[in-house]
Structure 1
Amino acid sequence: MSRPILSTHVLDTSTGTPAGGLFVELLKKRDDTWTLWHNTVTTCDGRIQFPFSKESMAPGTYKLKFNIEDYYKKSGKTTLYPYVEIVFNTTEGAHYHIPLLLSPYGYTTYRGS
């Protein structure tokens, strides 16, 4: 199986476990507006491999929107962030792994491999 062109992995650093069941939207910027491209939920391992090939995911500006508030509400916790948005640019044919390390009062991201 070929490597997905876009993937993410969310870890809840407050519990030291993957953030399973987290609703995520993928949006693409077109002119000055964002268009919903795909939405899904992280697996029990906190992962998403988006179903796009190099041919179907054109270079451009994309945004992953993670619904943090609902994720923490399920476990009776509150959070400062209702959602986290990560905006990134793509080029033709490259692989993008966009991890999110999450806690109720902080987060970080980076380009993974």
Structure 2
Amino acid sequence: MSTLSTHVLDAEAGRPAVGVPVRLEHEGRVLAEDRTDDDGRVRALGADLPVGVYRIVFEVDGPFYPEVVVAFRVTEPGAHYHVPILLSPFAFTTYRGS
């Protein structure tokens, strides 16, 4: 089964975003919740994820975005998924990391 990690970088401050609440959702249920560590990471947000569509909700509490939601699809059983975000006050970006 697949595993999941994430990373939040604060582009405005030029450093990791520490203490950001993060939750993993699937089919309307919360599967896991955590906060980013001192390096802006959640190293094991989900494990044993079957194929399907998931949502990571980052509670960033920014001046424009109160939260950032990234929906993604697990397609490869056993693969590791890393879904980071790069955050600034009025924008964010994401990609499939490694």
TM-score by length of 1: 0.80
The 2-side partners of 1:86 and 1:26 are apart by: 10
1:15-35 C-alpha deviation (Å, 9 max, x unpaired):
000001000010012xxxx11
Structure with the higher helix share, 1 or 2? 1
Tell me, yes or no, if the aligned pair for 2:32 and 2:46 is still in contact at 8 Å: no
CA 1:52/1:63 → structure 2, altered by over 3 Å: closer, same or farther? closer
CA RMSD of aligned residues (A): 1.4
Q: Of 103, 107, 112, which aligns to 2:88?
A: 103
Moved over 6 A (4+): none
Instruction: Measure how far apart 1:93 and its partner are.
Output: 1.3
TM-score by length of 2: 0.91
Identity %: 43
The 2-side partners of 1:40 and 1:58 are apart by: 20
Tell me, yes or no, if the aligned pair for 2:86 and 2:92 is still in contact at 8 Å: yes
Work out the number of aligned pairs and report it.
96
Question: Which residue of structure 1 aligns with residue 19 of structure 2?
Answer: 21
Which secondary structure does the structure 1 equivalent of 2:49 belong to? coil
1:7-66 C-alpha deviation (Å, 9 max, x unpaired):
10100000000001000010012xxxx11001110001000022544xx21111110000
Q: 1:62 is matched by which residue type in structure 2?
A: Y
Where structure 2 has 5 or more consecutive residues not aligned to the other structure, the ranges are none
Larger Rg: 1
CA 1:94/1:18 → structure 2, altered by over 3 Å: closer, same or farther? same
Where structure 1 has 5 or more consecutive residues not aligned to the other structure, the ranges are 73-78
Structure with the higher strand share, 1 or 2? 2
Instruction: Measure how far apart 1:111 and its partner are.
Output: 0.4
Q: Of 67, 70, 75, which aligns to 1:83?
A: 67
